[in-house]
Amino acid sequence: MTKIDLDQLVTERRNEQTSNLDEMSIQEALVIMNQEDLKVPEAISFVLPEIEQVIIAVITAFKEGGRLIYMGAGTSGRLGVLDAAECVPTFGVSSEMVVGLIAGGQQAMTKAVEGAEDSTALGEKDLIELDLKQQDIVIGIAASGRTPYVIGGLDYARKIGAKTASLACNTNAEISQHADFAIEVDAGPEFLTGSTRLKSGSAQKMILNMISTISMIGIGKVFHNLMVDVQPTNAKLVERSKRIIMQATDVSYEVATDYFEQADQEVKLAIVMILTNSSKSEAQKKLIEANGFIKHTI
């Protein structure tokens, strides 16, 4: 087996602040862990321009009918799957519009699949099975910045003409050379040496939040700061939906409830009906003409 050189990876270095971690009191460990975690948003602040370019590319893909596809292994893969899954209820998109791929398949969400992340061929295979199109954008996620599964996927995506982006937690990352857009965030060595589920995982989660949320804003899924395409799939979300209608239109709870039901529990449609004094069919037409943006219907 070829030796993997990890010496140059920040995520694999020992943290001088925690060299005696096993001798610390719980309080001491908590204080230092919290101090280390505070470095994450600061590190992200330095790569906001790169994140912006990725978001622009994602919005373009969505507008052309393409998909956002995350790829990763281990923690990185799980975070991509999580972000994709949360887009469905939050923004009312189909599960096909934002997709998360993890090396080893769904079973790898809870149990490591030996060797899966080391296969470039598996990354390509997963995208072929997903029927990757030129209109799609693939974002490869790897804390180390060298995961073969991710590199294989990015190379295949570029080969067929799809847009690509990478997210690594090391600078000069290998995966950056395989993507159209590269994000490299350096939050320093981990609290526990090499445990990239910690600061690296937090950085990846924050950046994925930025990418998906702001991209959805860019295609009309938000009005003011309200999630107007939320799916009312449980009792809490039904009540949240009514509150969103109230906040967007300044109507009473009773009026919001009435329009919510008239609109077949479609929050955005109810809001347009109220703000434009339209029937359900008229409001639907206005939304289609406005490409889903409430502000363009008013």
Q: What is the C-alpha separation between 125 and 121, in angstroms, rounded? A: 6
Which residue has 């967007």 as its token pair?
A: 248
Q: CA angle 262-268-270, nearest 5°?
A: 25
Catalytic pick from 28, 42, 64, 117? 117
Question: Residue 81's closest CA among 70, 66, 91?
Answer: 70
User: Could you confirm whether 42 is annotated as catalytic?
Assistant: no
DSSP, collapsed to helix, strand or coil, labels residue 164 as strand
Sequence-ordered alpha helix ranges (H) in 24-163: 26-37, 39-45, 48-63, 74-91, 120-129, 148-160
Catalytic pick from 52, 86, 174, 282? 86
- Tokens found for residue 21: 């971690």
Question: What is the number of other CB atoms lying within 10 angstroms of the CB of residue 44?
Answer: 18
Q: Are 15 and 36 in contact, with CB atoms under 8 Å apart?
A: yes
User: Could you confirm whether 86 is annotated as catalytic?
Assistant: yes
Q: What is the C-alpha separation between 136 and 126, in angstroms, rounded? A: 14
Treating both helix axes as pointing N-terminal to C-terminal, what angle do 74-91 and 199-217 enclose, rounded to 10 degrees? Answer: 30
Name residue 82's amino acid.
Answer: L
Residues in the chain: 298
Q: What is the C-alpha separation between 185 and 90, in angstroms, rounded? A: 27
Q: What is the C-alpha separation between 47 and 1, in angstroms, rounded? A: 35
Q: Are 118 and 148 in contact, with CB atoms under 8 Å apart?
A: yes
Residues with catalytic annotation? 86, 117
